[in-house]
């Protein structure tokens, strides 16, 4: 009888991995902030399963909502039919999102929510009699998902655009904002962005970016002044603004949505990842009333999209339960406490030879190295430290569940330091 990992390696594909992924660990169960491996070892989770399990694993409130829902209505097609869970979820998202976003399109994953946002922007200009406005402008260092439309606005280098040359729509890229979060953003920071925007405004449908925190494209935190200025420039140029809050949404940066740091509202906003507290695959694209009106008034008269699992009742139940937990407000104390502890406990990493820089924003701690890590070595080393940390390239980072306790977070920062210290 072969082990789970051996069986996996002969048939299963893993994210951004060769056909037989290695090293690989089999999880038997998870509770709170702990993953239990099939060999009985327990790991403290420093990744929130890629930003999503903000309330920890198997939270009783979300579990109860899912159990109740599965007995009544796991899923029903959303064409021509609706249900209370979806209505309530959309009402709540509109209520909590930045002002002016009044319509919600539910979908099944973050990448799809981005595809939808892009299609909306293109359809809006078509409906307004300006079909030539169909390109996008974004900033380098971004990540928006793995489907073709989303890939086309990911960073061209880390997103390996060269590999898909000819298959991806060619969009426009401005430099990554160099002004950091917490710092002022001088006007000349946006000179190149503004130049491209103004030059191409007649062919641009929208600007798309991750507000404040660029996630998988480089874990980079930039000035709220930059974002505020982008909003103003988009208005001047008559170009829509799409903010991708799939990683930042639901409190991770210390605000419910990262757009709040700059006090702006986009025309279209994407959420996903933490929407269901990490239990079900679900995402949403929110749009302003003007966007919705344009779409309804165009040639098609409808928005051309409709996933089979749109508005999944189980997904909505989980999302509503996760929003209940957020509404209790404990995240407002937990996230700043995590930020303070990460800043203090990761600071000593700064002097290690392998380390280029340490940065913290909200419940996100990043140690950027000089060289990419050797995953075959460090992944096992983290597991041996009893923590689950999954670096990519030069970036060793953590974004733990909000309810992590102080000593568990210390175990994560200690383990990160120990592993990084051993890198030569």
Backbone angles phi, psi at 63, to 5 degrees: -60, -45
Active site residue 397: no
Q: What is the DSSP letter of 207?
A: E
* CA–CA gap between residue 4 and residue 171 (Å, rounded): 43
The angle at the Cα of 21, spanning 20 to 24, to the nearest 5 degrees, equals 130
Selection from 198, 262, 203 nearest residue 234 by Cα: 198
Q: Does 143 bind ligand PLP (CB under 6 A)?
A: yes
Q: Does 116 bind ligand PLP (CB under 6 A)?
A: no
Q: Binding segment for ligand PLP among 115-123, 141-149, 366-374, 400-408 (CB under 6 A)?
A: 141-149
Secondary structure of residue 334 in the 3-state scheme: helix
For ligand PLP, how many residues bind (rule: CB under 6 A)?
15
Q: Binding segment for ligand PLP among 110-118, 234-242, 332-340, 376-384 (CB under 6 A)?
A: 110-118
* CA–CA gap between residue 316 and residue 229 (Å, rounded): 35
Q: Choosing from 244, 394, 402, 417, which is the catalytic residue?
A: 244
Active site residue 143: yes
**Closer of 204 and 246 to ligand PLP (Cβ):** 246
The single residue among 145, 225, 298, 391 that binds ligand PLP, judged by CB under 6 A, is: 145
Per-residue tokens: 354? 């392998």
Minimum CB distance to ligand PLP, residue 215 (Å) = 4
Q: Does 111 bind ligand PLP (CB under 6 A)?
A: yes
SS3 annotation, 393-416? CCEEEECCCCCCCHHHHHHHHHHH
Q: Does 107 bind ligand PLP (CB under 6 A)?
A: no
* CA–CA gap between residue 315 and residue 69 (Å, rounded): 9
In this structure, are residues 367 and 345 in contact, taking their beta carbons and an 8 Å threshold? no
Minimum CB distance to ligand PLP, residue 299 (Å) = 29
Enumerate the β-bridge partners of residue 368.
357, 395
Minimum CB distance to ligand PLP, residue 362 (Å) = 14
Active site residue 406: no
Q: Of residues 362-421, which lie at the interface with ligand PLP (CB under 6 A)? A: none
* CA–CA gap between residue 136 and residue 174 (Å, rounded): 11
Q: Does 298 bind ligand PLP (CB under 6 A)?
A: no
Q: Does 247 bind ligand PLP (CB under 6 A)?
A: yes
Active site residue 402: no
* CA–CA gap between residue 320 and residue 89 (Å, rounded): 6
In this structure, are residues 373 and 423 in contact, taking their beta carbons and an 8 Å threshold? yes
Minimum CB distance to ligand PLP, residue 253 (Å) = 12
**Closer of 240 and 246 to ligand PLP (Cβ):** 246
Closest residue by beta carbon to ligand PLP: 110
Q: Binding segment for ligand PLP among 58-66, 109-117, 174-182, 400-408 (CB under 6 A)?
A: 109-117
The single residue among 85, 211, 225, 272 that binds ligand PLP, judged by CB under 6 A, is: 272
Q: Choosing from 119, 133, 143, 155, which is the catalytic residue?
A: 143
Q: Of residues 187-246, which lie at the interface with ligand PLP (CB under 6 A)? A: 210, 215-216, 244, 246
Strand ranges, E, within 224-311? 240-244, 268-271, 283-288
The single residue among 48, 69, 107, 109 that binds ligand PLP, judged by CB under 6 A, is: 109
Backbone angles phi, psi at 172, to 5 degrees: -110, 140
Where does residue 313 rank: exposed (0-12), middle (13-18), buried (19+ CB within 10 A)? buried
Residues that bind ligand PLP (CB under 6 A): 109-111, 114, 143-145, 210, 215-216, 244, 246-247, 272-273
The catalytic residue positions are 16, 143, 244, 273
């Amino acid at each position: 009888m072969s082990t789970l990992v051996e069986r996996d390696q002969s048939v299963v594909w893993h994210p951004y991995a060769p056909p037989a992924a290695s090293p690989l660990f089999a999880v038997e169960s998870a509770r709170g902030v702990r993953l239990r491996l099939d060999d009985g070892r327990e790991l403290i989770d420093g990744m929130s399963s890629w930003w999503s399990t903000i309330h920890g694993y198997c939270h009783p409130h979300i579990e109860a909502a899912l159990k109740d829902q599965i007995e009544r209505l796991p899923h029903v097609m959303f064409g021509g039919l609706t249900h209370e869970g979806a209505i309530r979820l959309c009402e709540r998202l509109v209520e909590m999102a930045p002002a002016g976003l009044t319509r919600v399109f539910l979908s099944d994953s973050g990448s799809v929510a981005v595809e939808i946002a892009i299609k909306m922007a293109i359809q809006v200009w078509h409906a307004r009699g300006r079909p030539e406005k169909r390109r996008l402008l974004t900033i380098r260092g971004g990540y928006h998902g793995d489907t073709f439309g989303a890939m086309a606005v990911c960073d061209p280098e880390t997103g390996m655009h060269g590999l898909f040359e000819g298959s991806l729509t060619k969009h426009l890229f401005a430099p990554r904002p160099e002004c950091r979060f917490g710092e002022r953003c001088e006007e000349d920071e946006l000179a190149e962005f503004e130049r491209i925007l103004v030059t191409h405004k007649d062919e641009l449908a929208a600007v798309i970016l991750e507000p404040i925190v660029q996630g998988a494209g480089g874990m980079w935190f930039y000035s709220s002044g930059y974002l505020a200025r982008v909003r103003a420039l988009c208005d001047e140029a008559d170009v829509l603004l799409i903010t991708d809050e799939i990683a930042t949404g639901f409190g991770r940066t210390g605000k419910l949505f990262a757009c709040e740091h700059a006090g702006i509202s986009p025309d279209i906003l994407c959420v996903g990842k933490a929407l269901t507290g990490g239990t079900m695959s679900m995402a949403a694209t929110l749009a302003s009333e003007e966007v919705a009106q344009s779409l309804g008034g165009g040639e098609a008269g409808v928005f051309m999209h409709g996933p089979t699992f749109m508005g999944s009742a189980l997904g909505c139940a989980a999302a509503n339960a996760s929003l209940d937990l957020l509404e209790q407000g404990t995240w407002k104390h937990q996230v700043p406490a995590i930020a303070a502890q990460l800043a203090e406990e990761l600071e000593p990493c700064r002097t290690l030879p392998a380390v280029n820089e340490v940065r913290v924003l909200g419940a996100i701690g990043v140690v950027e190295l000089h060289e990419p890590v050797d995953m075959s070595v460090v992944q096992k080393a983290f597991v041996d430290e009893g923590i689950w940390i999954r670096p990519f390239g030069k970036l060793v980072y953590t974004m733990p569940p909000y309810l992590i306790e102080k000593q568990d977070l210390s175990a994560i920062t200690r383990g990160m330091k120990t592993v990084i210290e051993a890198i030569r």
